[in-house]
Amino acid sequence: RIDGLMNAAGGNMPGATIGPDQDLFDLNLEDTRRAVDLNLFGTVLPTTIFGRVMAAQGQGSIVNISSLTAQRPLTRVLGYTLAKKSIEAYTQWMAVELGLRYGGGLRMNALAPGVFLTEQNRSLLLEADGSLTERARKFIAHTPFQRFGDAQELTGTLIYLLSDASRFVTGETILVDGGFNAYSGV
């Protein structure tokens, strides 16, 4: 029996990121493709395997990890942005198909973290001495909570989406971003 699935495969590739001194067109297309493959197919593959079991059961909840970048494109990280936007499109498409084909017991949603300090983005957010980069200061200045998120702050939303409390929620993306996406800067 499988009641819930969290698809959290993800990451970026160095060549799928445009450095501050690079030309916009210096993008490494192979690394960009690899970033999309890792994120998107790292979500699709587990869904095809475990979703089949959930469909046979007639119920289950699948939560895909997206990113703030799918809602609000960020500079420099094109490959990651394309990948996470693809996950949100897949989430909506699959939610509709699951509901139409298997009824209301099977649903799919996405959780989109805002800016959390991780190993993946550490070099973009922290200088070698541990101080904030200019990019990090911009993120914090545009986040009403005035800080990065803590990974523990994703847990409540994840539990909600996996639980029966969200049994009438499907095809949605919930941002956990300290208000970053909502803030106009004014």
160 is catalytic: no
User: Residue 6 burial by CB count (10 A; 0-12/13-18/19+): exposed, middle or buried?
Assistant: middle
Active-site pick, 80, 102, 160, 183: 80
Q: Identify the residue whose tokens are 């200019």.
A: 134
Which residues belong to the active site?
A: 80
